[in-house]
Amino acid sequence: MGRWAIAVHGGAGIDPNLPVERQEQAKQLLTRCLNLGIAALRSNVSAIDVVELVVRELETDPLFNSGRGSALTENGTVEMEASIMDGTKRRCGAVSGITTVKNPISLARLVMDKSPHSYLAFSGAEEFARKQGVETVDNDYFVTEDNVGMLKLAKEANSILFDYRVPLIGCAGAAVNDSPLQMNGLPISIYAPETVGCVVVDREGRCAAGTSTGGLMNKMMGRIGDSPLIGAGTYASELCGVSCTGEGEAIIRSTLARDVSAVMEYKGVGLQEAVDYVIKHRLDEGFAGLIAVSNKGEVVCGFNSNGMFRGCATEDGFMEVAMWE
């Protein structure tokens, strides 16, 4: 029997001016999700089941950008995406363009378990959800007052907004347009995407990973980020499980999650060295972070952004919830 380990994240890139109350709310949510996963692991629940359980909890709470509380498109609607992967035999499922499914991570799990495919999107994914009888809600359920305000700010600034719901006073207009940050060569504003994810290794040494997001505030209709892309935002193998967060286009270009496993496999290094390598050498000028577990019960968090909401725990009693370095 091996040792279990778990990690969760709520997004890489935190505004230094984020109110203390907001910081505490985030820490409390991550702690609650960690404890949920720990209780399941102590009851010998499998890694893939724990991942789905924890990400569902993150999607249901409107604090982070997934499920209820997802970022809004340019049209003021929500288009969510998620992926899940079981390192055992590298089974996976992913969905994009989800508008009515209450928990996209569970729909991704159904794609993995109940369909002949690995990835379904938009109307096809919604139709599959109806056939599977999953819980659906009106799109308005996912829209929060905070995000309506942030979309207004983004449109006034004519920008994609990486939102962490900092106070809006003094944040509009020129402050956004003067930002040195870019995505694919175009200027963007405050960097803080808030994607959520979970990685788990259970006592059997089985690794699993899951990631879920609403994407970018004021994104174009139909935009797909890294979160549903197996190998980019999510990956699990016999060696490790990885969930990424941050600048999606940079994560896609670097196939960041898969690269952690590849470095471990091809260079023969441990989890910490692999994570350090990909964060340093694979992101080019992008900003991102990731959480990872190994089949040996190790857990690692790495990022080059200004902080990352994260928490982790291991069977030997270690537990940590953190934001900054």
**What is the biggest distance separating any 2 CA atoms in the chain, rounded to whole angstroms?**
57
- 222 marked ligand binding residue: no
Report how far residue 2's alpha carbon sits from residue 41's, in angstroms, rounded to the nearest whole number: 12
Distance CA 76, CA 97 (A): 14
247 is in an annotated binding site: yes
Q: Please name the residue ranges forming H helices in the chain.
A: 20-42, 47-60, 104-114, 122-132, 145-157, 174-177, 248-254, 256-267, 271-281
Which residue reads 């803080």 in tokens?
192
251 annotated as a binding-site residue: no
The answer on whether 165 is annotated among ligand-binding residues is no
224 annotated to a ligand binding site: yes
Residue 6 known to bind ligand? no
**DSSP code per residue over 47-80:** HHHHHHHHHHHHHHSTTSSSSTTPPPBTTS---E
Enumerate the active-site residues.
195
Task: State both tokens at 199.
Answer: 């990685």
Give phi and psi for 280, each to the nearest 5: -80, -35
DSSP state of 89: G
Q: Which residues are annotated as a binding site for substrate?
A: 223-226, 245-248
Q: Which residues are annotated as a binding site?
A: 223-226, 245-248
